[in-house]
Amino acid sequence: MAMADVTVMGAGAFGLSIAYACAARGARVRVIDTQGIGAGSSGGIVGTLAPHTPENWNEKKAFQFDSLIMAQAFWQGVQDRAGRDAGYARSGRLQPIADDRALGLARDRATQAATLWQGQAVWQVVPATDHTDWAPHSPTGFLIHDTLSARLHPRQACAALAGAVRALGGEVLIGDHAPAGPTIWATGYRGLLALSQEFERPLGNGVKGQALLVEHDARDLPQLFADGLHIVPHGDGTVAIGSTTERDFDAPDTTDDQLGAVHARAIAAFPILKDAPVLERWAGVRPRAKSRAPMLGPYPGKPGQFVANGGFKIGFGMVPKVAQVMADLVLEGRDAIPAPFRVQANF
């Protein structure tokens, strides 16, 4: 493989992971971010890496499955090179089952997962009595337990990626610096708005999210999902609770009263968190492409430039595979990006 000089604009999850993948293959990389490492939505606190349901299989679900399976080795490699923890653990997830119809659907999905997940993870229906101390209330007395879901600590993960890039000889620069050579634009929701303006059509936008971090040590327990909330235990003795979805917002970097309702719902669903002190309230804007899938590939009309954006709620879970296919494309000219993920899919 020929050496390549690569500039990545954006030090979030996609930008840093692509820079790491390129550097690991011997390329000289430079990451530039005007605001800082993980300054956008990648600097959040939730960090849930959860799969789509194992049914109606398509390219997006297959891509995500591959990425979640790759994650253990990917993040271990990042940690080894950076010498710091990314907070990754494939800890699984528990979900309540509301009624008999949902129970039948969950069992059907368990059967499909046995094939679609290729024996590398399971989606199973288990008695709620198997998880008495750390589980959501389930009206049917059964829970969905999947072993594919994982978690990481977003800020720790971004810091570890930046450390790994530097350990491989790359640069991570903060401030205004001009790109040079092949350039990958991984600039979050502002990048999607800029693309929309450039091409005079809506290609993507930002969706505000908010989350809470509380002090409760459940580091070895699975994440939980109930009442639309993700409850994610981190390895540092904290638990993240998130998140809201707000399409209309005036102050994207400030929290508002919606978090009070989120906290109340979390306590109602998981009373064990009632007395857990709130450590942090977070708000940020996540980039969502028009197609709702990641937007990857050549920048239309600009040879030698590329786009990697639109991670939205599944960005960190997609990171290992996104990094791989973008490094393939930029360094080797090998295009393995699924059609639904291509920039043109949003036109």
Are residues 157 and 13 in contact, defined by beta-carbon separation less than 8 angstroms? yes
pTM of the model: 0.95
Q: Going by C-beta distance under 8 Å and a sequence separation of 6 or more, which residues neighbour residue 257?
A: none
Regarding beta strands 93-96 and 28-33, do their DSSP bridges make them parallel or antiparallel, or are they unpaired?
unpaired
Look up residue 140 and give its DSSP letter: T
Per the CB < 8 A criterion, the answer to whether 294 and 322 are in contact is yes
In eight-state DSSP terms, residue 199 is: H
Detail the DSSP E strand segments found in 20-149: 28-33, 48-49, 93-96, 123-127, 142-146
- Report which DSSP code applies to 53: P
Give CA angle at 298 (27, 14), nearest 5°: 60
Per-residue pLDDT of the chain (347 residues; tens, 9 = 90+): 334 589 999 999 999 999 999 999 999 999 999 999 999 999 999 999 999 999 999 999 999 999 999 999 999 999 999 999 999 999 999 999 999 999 999 999 999 999 999 999 999 999 998 887 898 889 999 999 999 999 999 999 999 999 999 999 999 999 999 898 899 999 999 999 999 999 999 999 999 999 999 999 999 999 999 988 999 999 999 999 988 888 777 777 777 778 888 999 999 888 899 999 999 999 999 999 999 999 999 999 999 999 999 998 889 999 999 999 999 999 999 999 999 999 999 99
